[in-house]
Structure 1
């Protein structure tokens, strides 16, 4: 069994794939980018990182292997443990290459270093998109000379005396009208200011008394805590079959519900949903041992 192949499959569907007792492969979405040095456009992708602290078994990888190989959950967990031991031994002498994922190696402090495969893209939205080379755009700057205004000189001519007197009279009349208009505007502003002061005094002097005030109503609204950990009982092509499964599980005492439709158009049904991950995993193990070995844990906020 090649463990890297199953990790590779799950990275298309999930943002985190944990290898128990080894570490977790985490993906982060990055947008399209341009390499200004090579003039290459790269489509959106998932950047893979490795976290050696994520060692707790969430059941995702083991459940997927059990389903793909048609074996029990316990056998799948054992196969994962054997692969982890093999990886740990190989890392003591050489680097490990995981196909399409990246390379694992040890540094001088005996810590795992991960180098992702930059060529392979796990983002399904970018399927079929490849890097595109574009020629660089050269911009030329031309210095613009400032415009110099040209003033035409006209020959001065003598102005008759009666025109000068008429112009002076027109200016005096204009100034007179402007002064009178300004005076009227100031008088109107004073009148409005006095009216506003009178209204404010009346408002301040007024007293409003409510003899029979309405009683205060206190509403206690319980804030619903999200439950992102779901124990999946199955996925159904027809919604009516999913509802039958929900009714069947509720009769058995489970808080079953339909938790949505997955990427393949199948309606998913859960045994129960939990706030805490540890509680969800404990219930998952109990259900796999007593009710359904095919049950698995889905981490998703509804």
Structure 2
């Protein structure tokens, strides 16, 4: 933003008319407070900025502002003002549009005339500063709304309420939850292997029992040995099947459960970015036109939108020292002497 714009904004806070020599004058017109019956809204008084190209003389207000800010004499202040006005005109002719901060913006028409678009701001009206528009309903609408509320309350009185004990509700809810949990947790019965549960006619305890020694004949002993061998053959499938299933269940119960350890999620911290701003525009089309004009000088030129304005920055860094060094080099070019640092997250 040009240096002269800051002085014009500062002077308009005190005076209703500020003239830029050989360019034009800014005049504040007071618009009184207004009531809109359709929306029942009240609008405070405000001041509208008007630009008059016929005012070309030096009224001394801007020169005085230069003297106070920079501590120079009147002659030096006039020279600085003339230099800024010349730079203002050159910028407007070169880019066809120019932002004037809180005042508004300028552009060149089809016939080369200067067109001023005022900004919608209440900054320059100190008497109503901070006041905003508000809506106040009429008494008729308030009474109608009150009648609707009374009718609604009457309907509520006609409704019957059955008292229910909260303790009883909690007991029923807990019982229902327990029943649902029982059906979810209970183990389903799988198909049973009938061969594993087929028992012999003689229990295994009798087979393994050692009989006392008796004086029997050899034929009797041989017959008993044969029966004992047959019993062992019948009982062995059940013993092997039961032992195998018991081993499987034991291994399954002993295996420890592995807990899933949740990995901490790294939270990305927000970084500050330092933008070297070289211009500001109220519309995107003006911003894009300016970016195209400085693309050859600033390779990384781009824009960022803040508070409804398009800030054009030559480059951006995540390190403040690098950003300030680049801005110092950029200011050596007269075209970017008003570059400033904009910090964002």
TM-score norm. by structure 2 comes to: 0.37
Q: Which has the higher helix share?
A: 2
Structure (1 or 2) with the larger CA radius of gyration = 2
